[in-house]
Amino acid sequence: MVTLDKPRLSAAIEEATQLGVKVFALPDGDVAASVLTCWQDNPYDVMYTIGGAPEGVISACAVKALGGDMQAELIDFCQAKGDYTENRQIAEQERKRCKAMGVDVNRVYSLDELVRGNDILFSATGVTGGELVNGIQQTAEWGADADITDRRRGPNV
């Protein structure tokens, strides 16, 4: 299982470890970790994390473009960051926004609900080095970057 080495995930890491699951805890990069679960030549079979909604949607696009699968649950700020007065206020604002947009909080969404279409383009460029792509490398006179691009087109495109 790949996850992030973050305090909010320490209980999940401990529980998985006690169950005998081999856990890879990366310092950051939830989108990269999602993509890595779709590649065959790595030790990551499944990912579990608590992260931001934008990263979840980007991950869903990448996973769908690569032919993988995922589910996601939208939780509020208080659930993700801790039950503190300031976080409760942020969480209440988030819940109101979600309700106004017709989004159900604490509902598990399928990949097809997260990414409704099949015409998907995912592209990543490494600025700093990471698990997915290398960072920008200085050559004699130029900087060089590393990119990945994957596209999935639906039958009607």
Residue 149 lies in a domain: no
Q: Which domain covers residue 21, as residue numbers? A: 2-119
Digit-coded pLDDT (tens) for 104-120:
988 999 999 999 999 98
Q: Report whether 75 contacts 94 (CB < 8 A).
A: no
Residue 107 lies in a domain: yes
The total domain count for the chain is 1
Residue 54 lies in a domain: yes
Residue 86: give its domain's CATH number.
3.40.190.90
For residues 112 and 45, what is the distance between their CA atoms, to the nearest angstrom? 20
Q: In this structure, how many other beta carbons lie within 10 angstroms of the beta carbon of residue 73?
A: 13
Residue 41 lies in a domain: yes
pLDDT band at 40 (very low <50, low <70, confident <90, very high): confident
Q: Say whether pLDDT at 155 is over 50.
A: no
For residues 51 and 74, what is the distance between their CA atoms, to the nearest angstrom? 9
pTM: 0.81
Residue 151 lies in a domain: no
